[in-house]
Amino acid sequence: MILGIAVFSLTLLFVTLIPFIGPVAVIMTPLPILYHYSRLGRVKGLTALAIALGAVYVILGLLGQRINIFILSTIVLAGVILAEILRWRLSIEKTFLLASLALFFSGAGFIAYLALRTGTSPWSVLELYVAGIIRENLKLYEQMNFSPDQVALIRENSRGITEFVTGIFPALAFSGAVITVWLNVLAGRLLFREKGVPFPDFGDWATWKAPERLVWLLIASGAAVLAPWEPLDVIGLNILILCCLVYFFQGLSIATFFFRVKRIPRVMRGLFYLLILVQQYMVVFVVALGLFDIWVDFRKRITGITDVHA
């Protein structure tokens, strides 16, 4: 339990005191909480987290650091929620959906709390949050010596960018929750197995496929985006983003299947995944791979067998 308290405290301090550790590092911070909470059990795990949060609050106060309650609570909730849902031994789809929804509504609850506290609408709070992110990014771009013309262009259009991002923020937030769950479950499976700790068997992820009927929702959302009525346009764009996320995961499963069957070296696999992180066109390629699998059935063509699930 002492080790758990120490790990929880260091994880939260790491995020707070090192603000430029990168989005991937922040997304992975629920992992140590997931692991040690699972090892300790519910009662000891919650006790250790409460002690760690109290210690972090005192330490940050002594250092004069601003305490970002939203970030800290999100990380703690992500680890605890994942640990609890993994105990239910659900299917991979139900596990990801429930955990992602829990994280999403936790964030929505925090926004609602701020709206009540400030006497404004939740949408206004969200818009202010997005505007703040854009301002911080502009400062970062200036520090990184981006082209002054590009920075000026973004600043001039910041109002329109803020409105656009605010409109699609629900889909972006839920997508972020799904990716957080996916990365932590993926890393957690490796960590738990290495330490000899039981972990749910989700089967072969390389053969996972999205429901074929999802393509009709994709088509409907695409049609809504083209509608002349702005509210329908925004709703359609949010649904379109979520559909693309599902096909992104199907595309990844196809790539994983290909790497396994063709015995592609780990270095090449790592390069492929790295390109997905740094190159946007690779994300589009993976989404297209998952979408066109409905008609092409890439895994069948890779192996030459009738059913890759057999």
Q: What is the pLDDT of residue 180?
A: 92
Q: Which residue bears the tokens 């790592």?
A: 270
pLDDT in tens, 165-198: 999 999 999 999 999 999 999 999 999 999 998 9
Tell me which of 21-30, 144-153, 196-205, 212-221 is least confident. 21-30
Where exactly are the structural domains of the chain? 205-304
Q: How confident is the model over 24-51, as a mean pLDDT?
A: 89
SS (H, E, C) the chain: CHHHHHHHHHHHHHHHHCCCCCHHHHHCCHHHHHHHHHHHCHHHHHHHHHHHHHHHHHHHHHHCCCCCHHHHHHHHHHHHHHHHHHHCCCCHHHHHHHHHHHHHHHHHHHHHHHHHHHCCCHHHHHHHHHHHHHHHHHHHHHHCCCCHHHHHHHHHCHHHHHHHHHHHHHHHHHHHHHHHHHHHHHHHHHHHHHCCCCCCCCCCHHHCCCCCCHHHHHHHHHHHHCCCCHHHHHHHHHHHHHHHHHHHHHHHHHHHHHHHHCCCCHHHHHHHHHHHHHCHHHHHHHHHHHHHHHHHCHHHHHHCCCCCCC
pTM of the model: 0.89
